[in-house]
Amino acid sequence: MFSMRKGNQYLTLYLASCLFFISNCQSTSSTSSKHHCLPDQSSALLLLKQEFEEGMSSEPVVYYPGNYPKMKSWKAKVDCCSWDGVTCNNKTGQVVGLNLGNSWLSGILNPNSSLFSLHHLQKLNLSMNGFIFSTIPSSFSQLVRLSHLDLSYSNFTGQIPSEISWLTKLISLDLSNFDLHLKGKDLEAISKNMTNMRELHLDHVNISSSVPQALVNLSSLTSLSLSDCSLFGEFPRNVFLLPKLQAIVLSRNVLLIGFLPEFPSRSSLRVLDLYSTNFSGKLPNSFGNLESLNVLNLHNASFSGELPNSIGHIEPLNFLDLDYNHFSGQIPSSIGNLSQLTSLSLSFNNFNGQPPSTLGNLAKLNFISLQSINLHGKIPSFLNNLTQLEFLYLSYNNFEGGFPTSLTNLTKLREIYISRCQLKGPIPSEISTLPQLYTFDLSDNSLSGAIPSLLFTMPSLEKLRLDQNQLTAPLKFKNISSSPLWVLSLGGNALGKMELKIFFDLKHLLYLDLSVFSTLDLIGYYYMSKNYHMPASYWVNAHWTQASSFFYSAHIVHGFLLQESKSLK
């Protein structure tokens, strides 16, 4: 026993020295001119390691690839140029790159940290660490050779020091963080000083200012991301015309005003994201010149006018979201040319007329949302073509006719929302053949007939909302105990007499709505309440439907009815 252990120790030592030797051999043989780490660089790095030693012993909450304490492996006797995350200049041996992104650094980064003595650093990545809400030291301005600096999501807080703008060689700067502030004048200084800037990412940094005109001069800019920065005023329109720009994200700046320019041909823009801004005006006719665009997100802005036909020229478009604007006129049939589209959202606009049947050509569509856009007539038959569809949102329209059985051919459907649409007739029981259906919402229509009992045996259906129709109770309930339903809303129907006890078999039910317009008989309640007394901690708050002045409802936990009858007035 004892000797075996000793043997193992020897083996470990032997292997370790082998590995050390091999790696030494390799590095000297393959690149014989390679310089080793300079002693001052090595000791600066080891001091940096010491500064954060304590934090590294605790483990991060979330694990994913690339997430480990890179500094742990740094050893004094090993050439620092071979340390994890360290890059040296081939010729001089100076440390020029330090990639400690996602490396469990935890603690305060002091202004006197030995990091700031690594004057040759060109690339520095400290993103996704935990600097326990300390401020960004102005000492960063000493690293004058920096071309790349990433301090994103590292739990820094407070004001970003003005001295950052002295780093005139920066071509990539990411300070995205939830708790930082940047002065408007410092953003201007950054824009004026860092003339070679390619990537500027300041998401969630509270800037609370207008956007400096100087951004227009950053002619090398490829990616600009200023999401959720509390920006206001008018965005300088010519930024969109920067020749190398590939991504521009200005989302979540609700006070930011702006307009799109006419776009020249062969624009390199791939991502245009103006989600929740106050950009307005029309999409220009030249919009189709954005021939590289993959992602267009204009959700919740203030655009109006007709969509230009040219939008159908943007062949690579994959994601198109125009929800919550004031677009009007016909939906152009050219949208049917966007064969790469996987997600199409046109909801809550003022379109009129029917959507063009060419949408049936969008064979890759996985998500379609056409809510509240004045649709009438039958549910469009082009939908039958969309065999990849998982999410179908058609609520708040004025359809005539029934729920088309043909939709049950779209076997990938996971969510169907067609509420408030004046649908008539029965719910086809074929719905129960959809193996992945998770949400089925046909509330507030004029549907009639019996609720298909097969809905209660579907393997994936968790949310079923059929309230405010003229449906009658299911004819028979059988084998419903394996149903994963936890939201069941049947109020405002013509259910007739029916024992509540029936629902107790739904083991996962948390929310049952049987509001006042239903004539449900409550025999079951009294029976159950006499026999079961659940501890208060098991109670779950219902999400009350407030459609009526008072209603009956029920809280059900683990299949047991606990309370019903509540009056609101």
Ligand X SMILES: *[C@@H]1O[C@H](CO)[C@@H](O)[C@H](O)[C@H]1NC(C)=O
- Give the torsion sign (CA, 255, 323, 443, 482): negative
Report the nearest approach of ligand X to the CB of residue 111 (Å). 7
Q: Does 339 bind ligand X (CB under 6 A)?
A: no
Report the nearest approach of ligand X to the CB of residue 77 (Å). 22
Among 90, 352, 433, 446, binds ligand X (CB under 6 A): 90
Q: Does 43 bind ligand X (CB under 6 A)?
A: no
Stretch that binds ligand X, among 120-128, 261-269, 452-460, 543-551 (CB under 6 A): 120-128
Among 46, 78, 241, 254, binds ligand X (CB under 6 A): 254
Q: Does 166 bind ligand X (CB under 6 A)?
A: yes
Which helix (H) or strand (E) segment holds residue 333: the answer is: none
Collapsing DSSP states into helix, strand and coil, what is residue 247?
strand
> What burial letters (b/e) apply to 188-201, b meaning 16+ CB within 10 Å?
bbbbbbbeebbbbb
Three-class SS string for 156-215? ECEECCHHHHHCCCCCEEECCCCCEECCHHHHHHHHHHCCCCCEEECCCCECCCECCHHH
Collapsing DSSP states into helix, strand and coil, what is residue 401?
coil
Q: Does 300 bind ligand X (CB under 6 A)?
A: yes
Q: What is the CA radius of gyration of the chain?
A: 31
Strand partners, 445: none
Among the listed residues 171, 67, 41, the one whose alpha carbon sits nearest the alpha carbon of residue 127: 67
Three-class SS string for 518-536? CCCCCHHHHHHHHHCCCCH
Stretch that binds ligand X, among 38-46, 128-136, 262-270, 506-514 (CB under 6 A): 128-136
CB atoms under 10 Å from CB of 526, counted, come to 12
Q: Does 209 bind ligand X (CB under 6 A)?
A: no
CA angle 85, 88, 89 (to 5 degrees): 150
Report the nearest approach of ligand X to the CB of residue 46 (Å). 13
Kindly state the number of chain residues that form the binding site for ligand X, as judged by CB under 6 A. Answer: 51
Q: Does 304 bind ligand X (CB under 6 A)?
A: no
Report the nearest approach of ligand X to the CB of residue 472 (Å). 25
**Cβ neighbours of residue 178 closer than 8 Å, sequence gap 6 or more:** 153, 204
Q: Does 214 bind ligand X (CB under 6 A)?
A: yes
* Site residues (CB under 6 A) for ligand X, limited to 439-478: none
Q: Which is nearer to ligand X, 372 or 493 (CB)?
A: 372
Long-range residue pairs from 225-229, CB within 8 A, at least 24 positions apart, any chain:
225/176, 225/200, 225/201, 225/249, 226/200, 226/202, 226/250, 226/253, 227/203, 227/251, 227/252, 227/253, 227/273, 228/203, 228/204, 228/252, 228/253, 229/202, 229/203, 229/204, 229/205, 229/253
Among 225, 276, 343, 545, binds ligand X (CB under 6 A): 276
Report the nearest approach of ligand X to the CB of residue 331 (Å). 13
Q: Does 189 bind ligand X (CB under 6 A)?
A: yes
* Site residues (CB under 6 A) for ligand X, limited to 396-435: 405-406, 409
Q: Which is nearer to ligand X, 91 or 533 (CB)?
A: 91
Q: Does 115 bind ligand X (CB under 6 A)?
A: no
Q: Which is nearer to ligand X, 130 or 492 (CB)?
A: 130
Report the nearest approach of ligand X to the CB of residue 302 (Å). 6
Q: Does 280 bind ligand X (CB under 6 A)?
A: yes
Q: Does 128 bind ligand X (CB under 6 A)?
A: yes
Among 68, 382, 486, 532, binds ligand X (CB under 6 A): 382
- How far is C-alpha 124 from the geometric centre of its chain's CA atoms? 27
Interaction site with ligand X (CB under 6 A) = 61, 66, 90, 101-102, 110, 112, 125, 127-130, 148, 150, 155, 165-166, 168, 172, 174, 189, 192-193, 206, 208, 213-214, 217, 230, 254-255, 257, 276, 278, 280, 300, 302, 309, 312-313, 334, 337, 357, 360-361, 382, 384-385, 405-406, 409
